[in-house]
A and B are shown apart, each in its own frame.
Chain A
Amino acid sequence: MSLLRPRVVFLAAFLVALSLAAAKAALATFVSANCNYNAPTSSPNMYRDGSVTVALVARYEGYHWGGGCWNDNDVDEGPNEPLQTSSTGGEGGDCSGLTFKVWRESLNTGDGGHYQWGRLRNVHGPYTAADFKAGVGVPNATYPKADAIVMDAFASSTHIGMVYQRGTSGADQIVEAKCEACGTNIFTRTYRSDSSYGGVRRMGWTG
């Protein structure tokens, strides 16, 4: 028994380690199980109502820090993720990832063309909310908040949301990927009158 015991201990430790590693590998994330890295489709035109449709598909599909992939079943398949952790591969975009995809932008910041990304295409884009707020990149420009209309956006240094419906009493309906607990949805917001927010417009709308 004294000769067998070390062997047994070693084998047990090895099996535990092996099973833990296998379990981790087997725990597929939403992104790893569903999403792709396909090329986008270039489009000559881009309409605000078309982008509204893209945003509405993302609605109810969850929120993921650094994310940009979702399906269309109105279920957040990556709920309760650790806050501000991009590696967990959950469903949904974050605020800037949602905006990038809805605004059909290119990964090339010097390209103002229109690119249709599949909803299961995992893409966030190179911009943060602060970048959008500063109008970084050819497609993006700062814009007077008072004149912002549907599918323009309001951005602070840490968040961006797009106008879904302009309000008349100081608040707008904003479509945004707000936070893990909030998900992606339409909310009533007063970003227009909030001095920490600036107006941003995606340039090149056809209509």
Chain B
Amino acid sequence: MDRLTAPRALTVVAAGLLLAAGCRDHAKPTGRVFVGHVRVAGVGRFRSPPLRACLRRFGELRVTRRTRVVEREGLLGASLTIADPRSPLLYGCDFTPGRRTLCGGAVGEWHAGRLNDPRLDILCTDRARRPLAVAWVVPVPRARAIVVRERRVTEVYPVAGGLPVRIWTRDGVRYERSSAVFDVTQRAADGRTLAHERLHAAVAG
């Protein structure tokens, strides 16, 4: 204590507050690690069945050659994220695993790299009919992967297409409160942690 300086004192206090806030060591993976698939595509003449389903869901969405589509397939489900430079809206369609059935969707306001809200969707369920939560997370600069940790599996979502990344959780769903919590880590190309948060999202709008 006699050798304690002001900066060290503040550091001790800050560390104590962080511990009190329940900050976990997010560097340790949980169980197995699953890396999802991602593909960035334009919209050509051929439109896949998931894309057609998504366009039916959002009838006002007009796709052009400048429309970007990010297709993802993961452990809990698949998704399309669609952006057109002429529109301030970002569209998302969520599918059961294997892109079989359109189970949910979202529309967000996407402008200058900012999204108005994670646009939580809790309409999808897994094979056991347990609710799933899907939301967008905006990658921080230099992020190459978004990592979502659950109790038994950690899923890695490669960043692609310059668009928010649509992520899933099963553990973090709070269905009665129409909300969910995602344990999100953003990693650089060399694996460094760029950001970590417990993303709290609520169905809104």
**Do the two chains belong together in a single complex?**
yes
Cα distance A10–B5 in the bound complex, in angstroms: 8
Contact present for B60 and A196 (CB under 8 Å): yes
A6 touches B9 (CB 8 A): yes
Are the CB atoms of B12 and A127 closer together than 8 Å? no
With beta carbons under 8 angstroms apart, the residue of A6, A9, A21, A136 that contacts B123 is: A136
Contact of A7 among B1, B57, B104, B205 (CB under 8 A): B1
- Complex CA gap A164/B182 in Å reads 39
Q: Does B176 contact A (CB under 8 A)?
A: yes
Question: Which residue in A14, A65, A109 is a CB contact (below 8 Å) of B205?
Answer: A65
Q: Find out whether the CB atom of A125 lies under 8 angstroms from the CB atom of B178.
A: yes
- Give complex CA distance A196, B59 in Å: 9
* Inter-chain contacts of A7 with B (CB < 8 A): 1, 4
Is the CB–CB distance between A65 and B4 below 8 Å? no
> Contacts A84-B205, A128-B107, A157-B60 hold; do A13 and B2 have CB atoms under 8 A apart?
no
* A95 and B205 in contact, given A6-B2, A7-B4 (Cβ under 8 angstroms): yes
Are B123 and A158 in contact, with the CB atoms below 8 A? no
Q: Who on chain B is nearest to A196 by CB? A: B60
Which residues in chain A, 104-144, are within 8 Å of chain B measured between CB atoms? 107, 109, 122-131, 134, 136
B6 on the A face (CB < 8 A): yes
Closest to A87 in B: B200
B13 touches A37 (CB 8 A): no
- Give every chain A residue within 8 A of B147 (Cβ-Cβ): none
* Given A13-B13, A17-B13; A157-B107 close (CB under 8 Å): yes
Chain B residue total in the interface (Cβ 8 A)? 41
Contacts of B205 in A (CB 8 A): 65-66, 84, 94-96, 128-129, 158-159
Task: Indicate with 1 or 0, residue by residue over A12-41, a CB within 8 angstroms of chain B CB atoms.
Answer: 011001000100000000000000010000
CB atoms of B5 and A6 under 8 A apart = yes
Q: Which residue of B lies closest to A129 (CB)?
A: B205
| A146 contacts partner chain B, Cβ-Cβ < 8 Å | no
30 pairs from A and B in contact (CB 8 Å cutoff): A6-B5, A6-B9, A9-B9, A10-B9, A13-B9, A14-B13, A17-B13, A17-B16, A17-B17, A65-B204, A66-B178, A66-B202, A84-B116, A86-B204, A94-B204, A95-B205, A107-B175, A124-B203, A124-B204, A126-B123, A126-B175, A126-B178, A128-B106, A128-B119, A129-B205, A130-B58, A130-B106, A134-B57, A136-B123, A158-B107
Could you tell me which A residues sit within 8 Å of B by CB distance?
A: 3, 6-7, 9-10, 13-14, 17, 21, 37, 65-66, 83-84, 86-87, 94-97, 107, 109, 122-131, 134, 136, 157-159, 195-196, 198
Told that A14-B9, A97-B204 touch, could you supply 9 new A-B pairs with CB distance under 8 A?
A6-B6, A17-B13, A66-B204, A86-B204, A94-B204, A96-B204, A124-B204, A126-B122, A157-B89
